[in-house]
Amino acid sequence: MKTMDQNEIELALKDLPGWILENRTITKAFTFTDFKEAFAVMTRIAFECEAKNHHPNWENVYNSLTIKLSTHDANGITRKDIDLALTIEKIVR
Ligand SMILES: C[C@H](O)[C@H](O)[C@H]1CNC2=NC(N)=NC(=O)C2=N1
């Protein structure tokens, strides 16, 4: 899949509050009430990722979750990352 250029990414990020372009990934940090809530959200995200065959790089520390999305095969950001971020927002909201 074709990578997006900086203008295309910034335009797409207008629909993704809190997501920023950082080190060739789109990234957002989430905070939940506790570990149980964070992990419940991660489980729901994981099922969507399997369905899409597109997976996040993420780090969870107790109630915090930092998600970084990029398309490894394409070595950049593609529409798949934007679509997954939009899905994650629906799950978290
Ligand atoms: C073999 C398999 O299709 C690939 O490794 C998939 C799986 N999940 C993936 N996830 C992400 N974020 N980028 C990829 O390039 C990717 N590739």
Q: Ligand 1: does its nearest atom lie under 6 Å from the Cβ of 26?
A: no
- Strand duo 20-22 + 57-61: pairing: unpaired
The question of ipTM being above 0.90 is answered as yes
Q: Report CA(81)–ligand 1 centroid distance (Å).
A: 11
Would you identify the CATH topology of the domain 36-93?
A: Gyrase A; domain 2 (3.30.1360)
Q: Ligand 1: does its nearest atom lie under 6 Å from the Cβ of 81?
A: no
Strand intervals (E) in the chain: 20-22, 25-31, 57-61, 64-69
Residue 41 burial by Cβ neighbours in a 10 Å radius (0-12, 13-18, 19+): middle
Q: Ligand 1: does its nearest atom lie under 6 Å from the Cβ of 67?
A: no
**In this structure, what token pair is assigned to residue 66?**
């930092």
Summarised one tens digit per residue, pLDDT across range 2-45 is 999 999 999 999 999 999 999 999 999 999 999 999 999 999 99
pTM comes to: 0.96
| Ligand 1, atom nearest to 57 Cα | 12
